[in-house]
Amino acid sequence: MRVQDYKFCKACLRRSPVSKHVDVAALAKCTEGFNGADITEICQRACKYAIRGELERDMERQKQKHQLIYEVVEEDEVCEVCPD
């Protein structure tokens, strides 16, 4: 791995919230020989995939939450009122 590849990867990701589990050195090693535009594109796509994945998970959580609320409302609708 060249030091400049590592620094370039870090620079591309500097404005992105990168997980501590991301190995930037491994990314730099895998992109050795790539030009700056290629590395930038890889980093931008990775960010977009991460955002898309988070949006999909959030939509699924909202769907499940809505389903739970719907089930509770359905249960309430079948209650009977008894005269005392």
In the chain, the amino acid numbered 54 is E
Q: What is the pLDDT of residues 2-56, one digit of tens each?
A: 888 899 999 999 998 888 888 999 999 999 889 999 999 999 998 899 899 999 9
Classify domain 3-77 at the CATH topology level.
Answer: Helicase, Ruva Protein; domain 3 (1.10.8)
Tokens 């590592």, residue located: 6
Cα–Cα distances in angstroms (integers) from residue 58 to residues 1, 31, 44, 46, 55, in the given order? 37, 31, 21, 18, 5
Question: Domain residue spans in the chain?
Answer: 3-77
Question: pLDDT per residue over 42-61, tens digit each?
Answer: 999 988 998 999 999 999 99
**pTM of the shown model:** 0.65
